[in-house]
Amino acid sequence: MFTGIVEEVGFVFSKLKNSMVIQASENFSDVKLGDSINVSGVCLTVVEKTDCAFSVDLADETLKKTNLDLLIQGDRVNLERALTPVSRLGGHYVQGHVDDVGKVMKISGKSVDRIISIKAPENLLPYIVRKGFISVNGVSLTIVSADGDDFSFTLIPFSAENTNLGSITVGDHVNLEVDIMAKYIERIIDKKRGI
C-alpha cells in the first residue's frame, strides 16, 4: 500500500522486454530484495539492487495494463516505498495496481494554475468524480472536474518539480488508478442488488 506522495524521481537506467533497472538516489539505498516499490503508479518487486539502483521484473499483464512498455532509457519515473505501520497517510490509499492508461489531452495555465486534462478509458469513468481521488503515475491527486470522458487536476509547482508530471506533454500516456474505496462501495451495492 502507498500514499501517492512521491519520495523522489528516478531514471530508467536500462530496460529489456520483461525487466527494468531504475537509478535512484541514496534515499533508496535501504531498499531490500522483495520490497514493493511504486514506480510511476505501478507496484513492482525489487529483484536485484545496488547502492544507487534496483531491478524489477515486468510481467506481461503489467505491460498490457500500464505505460511501462513505452518507457526508454533516461525516462523519469516517480518512486515511493511501501507504507509502514507508522507512516503518515498524506495522500490517499494507492495500491499500485494500475487500472488503465489515460492520455494527456490538454495542458493549460502556468505555475500554480496549471491544469492537466486527461482522457480516461470508459471503464474508469464511474469512479472519477469531481473532488475525488485519483492516482496519475503514482501521484495522489484531487480531481478538479470530470466532464464526459475527460477529467482534470491542478498541478501545483511542488508536484511539477518533484514528480515526473512536470515533464508530461499533450499526447503522453499516464498510469491511472482510481480510488479503491469507490470500487469496494460499488461491489457492496451490486451484491445487495443481486448483480
Q: Which residue has the cell 538516489?
A: 25
Active site residue 92: no
How many Cβ atoms from other residues are within 10 Å of residue 24's Cβ?
23
Among candidate residues 52, 97, 160, 173, the one labeled active-site is 97
Active site residue 36: yes
Active site residue 19: no
Among candidate residues 3, 36, 40, 135, the one labeled active-site is 36
Among candidate residues 2, 28, 133, 153, the one labeled active-site is 2
Active site residue 153: no
DSSP, collapsed to helix, strand or coil, labels residue 8 as strand
Among candidate residues 28, 40, 43, 163, the one labeled active-site is 43
Among candidate residues 14, 19, 45, 87, the one labeled active-site is 45
Side-chain-side CA neighbours of 93 within 13 Å: the count stands at 7
Active site residue 163: no
- Residue 111 to residues 54, 157, 174, 185, Cα–Cα distance (Å): 33, 6, 21, 36
Among candidate residues 142, 145, 158, 167, the one labeled active-site is 142
Among candidate residues 19, 29, 59, 87, the one labeled active-site is 59
Active site residue 45: yes
Longest alpha-carbon distance in the chain? 53
Residues taking part in catalysis: 2, 36, 43, 45, 59, 97, 142
